[in-house]
Amino acid sequence: MTEKPLIGAYLAWLAGQKRAAEATVVNYGRDVAGLLGFLTAHLGAEPDRAALGRVTQADLRAWLAHLAASGLAPPSRARALSAVRGFFRFLARTGGPENPAAAALGTPKRRPPIPRALAEDDARAVTEEISAEAEPWVAARDAAIAALLYGAGLRIAETLSLTRAEAPLPGSEAGLRVRGKGNKERVVPVLPAVRGAVAAYLALCPHALGGSDPLFVGVRGGVLNQRQVRGAMIALRRRLGLPEHATPHALRHSFATHLLEGGADLRAIQDLLGHASLSTTQRYTAVDEARLMAVWKKAHPRA
């Protein structure tokens, strides 16, 4: 059986036996067709079942290198390899031959995305201009949340999990104890402006909050969820004309990026963010390098 009938049989098996989504069937068909087309040129002949049984890891690495050279991103190369692995499993189940070459290949590593921070003026505007909300106490609440995200580098979940007893208020210099991912605790310093924002919210909040109650509550006094915070940020983004990546989590990115630009030590930023690995924090150095390159291209006479 030559390549076109093989692909058709594989796609029919995906759709019928594996109940794959239509988009998956289309993408996998394109990926496998790409491999078989590459092998035709690479091996000098259209591969049949027997030839596919002789395909080596070196052949498949050459195919992946060809995809990379053509500009295909790591996630797309990983999907293509997944399609090919499924194809070889299909061959083994429908008369052979068995070929473990594809299964033994490592998946192309996905490069972590570079965090997208806000400009300092935009980050400051989020914490100051959010007070344009209709209800003053809701505005103060949202401003306090934004202040903790940008001023202390908290995650949204960490901010919303704070209790009334844990509220960082003026008059105290104690750090804020935060429970992060994996229930890991860290202590972060809190700026006076952030403490003032939290105090302003509590002074206006119409709901009586006990020590064990959530610090930040919704309009009816119930638990405030992340979706509501994101909604408030979208409304603010539209009102101020901020970029699309202006999200609550972008405030945490901005906290780290602006500290790094100001000369903060990477290990210190790791501790403040609660990252288990320094490699996670090192993503912010790419942001700084990108900013420096942008400045160079704009300012250098020979750029």
- Domain final position from 229, 248, 267: 248
Q: Which domain holds residue 145?
A: 120-248
DSSP class per residue in 130-191: GGGSSSHHHHHHHHHHHHHHHHS---HHHHHT-BGGG---TT--PPEEEE-GGG-EEEE---
Shared domain for 235 and 142, answered yes or no, is yes
Asked about 30 being catalytic, the answer comes back as no
Same domain? 128 vs 219: yes
My answer on whether 135 and 231 are in the same domain is yes
- The reply to whether 22 falls in a domain is yes
> What CATH number did the domain enclosing 237 receive?
1.10.443.10
Residue 18 and residue 128 in one domain = no
Task: Choose the catalytic residue: 141, 237, 252, 253.
Answer: 252
- Comparing C-alpha atoms, which of 84, 107, 86 is closest to residue 38? 84
Whether 155 is catalytic is yes
164 is catalytic: no
Here the CATH number for the domain that contains residue 94 is 1.10.150.130
Catalytic residue of the set 111, 181, 184, 207:
181
In a domain, 201, yes or no: yes
Is 275 tagged catalytic?
A: yes
Active-site residue flag, 249: yes
Catalytic residue among 85, 179, 249, 283: 249
In a domain, 294, yes or no: no
Nearest-angstrom CA–CA distance, 216 and 225: 9
> What distance in Å separates the CA atoms of residue 152 and residue 169, rounded to the nearest whole number?
14
User: Is 252 known to be catalytic?
Assistant: yes
Residue of 77, 141, 155, 195 marked active site: 155
- Count of domains forming the chain: 2
In tens digits, what is the pLDDT along the chain, a chain of 303 residues? 455 788 889 999 988 888 888 888 999 999 999 999 999 999 888 888 889 999 999 999 999 999 989 988 888 888 999 999 999 999 999 888 899 998 888 777 666 667 788 888 888 888 877 655 568 999 899 999 999 999 999 999 999 999 999 999 998 888 899 988 877 889 999 999 999 999 999 999 999 999 999 999 999 999 899 999 999 889 888 888 888 888 999 999 999 888 888 888 888 888 888 888 887 787 777 665 655 566 556 665 665
